[in-house]
Homo-oligomer: A and B are copies of this chain.
Amino acid sequence: MTAEATMIELDAILFDTFGTLVDWRTSLIADLSRFGGERGIAVDWAAFVDAWRGAYAPSMDRVRRRDEPWKTLDALHRDSFDDLARKFGFNASLDENDRGWCVDRWHRLRPWPDTVAGLARLRVRWIVGTLSNGNVRLLADLARSAALPMDVLFSAELFRHYKRDSEVYLGAIELLATTPDRVMLCAAHNDDLAAAKSHGMRTAFVARPTEYGPNQSTDLTAGDRVDIAVRDLRELADRMDA
Q: Are A143 and B137 in contact (CB under 8 A)?
A: no
CA distance A4 to B157 in the complex (A): 33
When the two chains form the complex, which single residue of B140, B158, B175, B176 contacts A151, counting CB atoms closer than 8 Å? B140
Q: Are B74 and A136 in contact (CB under 8 A)?
A: no
**10 sampled A-B residue pairs with Cβ under 8 A:** A74-B177, A127-B140, A135-B175, A137-B176, A140-B151, A140-B176, A144-B151, A152-B153, A157-B175, A158-B158
CA distance A127 to B178 in the complex (A): 28
Which residues of A62-117 have CB atoms within 8 Å of chain B's CB atoms? Answer: 72, 74
Q: Are B176 and A136 in contact (CB under 8 A)?
A: yes
Q: Are A177 and B127 in contact (CB under 8 A)?
A: no
CA distance A205 to B170 in the complex (A): 37
| Chain B: CB-nearest residue to A154 | B136
Taken together, the copies of this chain in the complex come to 2
Distance of A122 from chain B, by nearest CB (Å): 13
Distance of A137 from chain B, by nearest CB (Å): 4
> Which A residues are closer than 8 A to B by beta carbons?
72, 74, 127, 129, 135-137, 140-141, 143-144, 151-153, 157-158, 175-178
CA distance A7 to B58 in the complex (A): 43
Give 20 new A-B contacts, CB below 8 A, not counting A140-B152, A140-B176, A158-B158: A74-B177, A127-B141, A127-B144, A129-B140, A135-B175, A135-B177, A136-B152, A136-B175, A136-B176, A136-B177, A137-B175, A137-B176, A137-B177, A137-B178, A143-B151, A144-B151, A152-B153, A153-B153, A157-B175, A158-B175
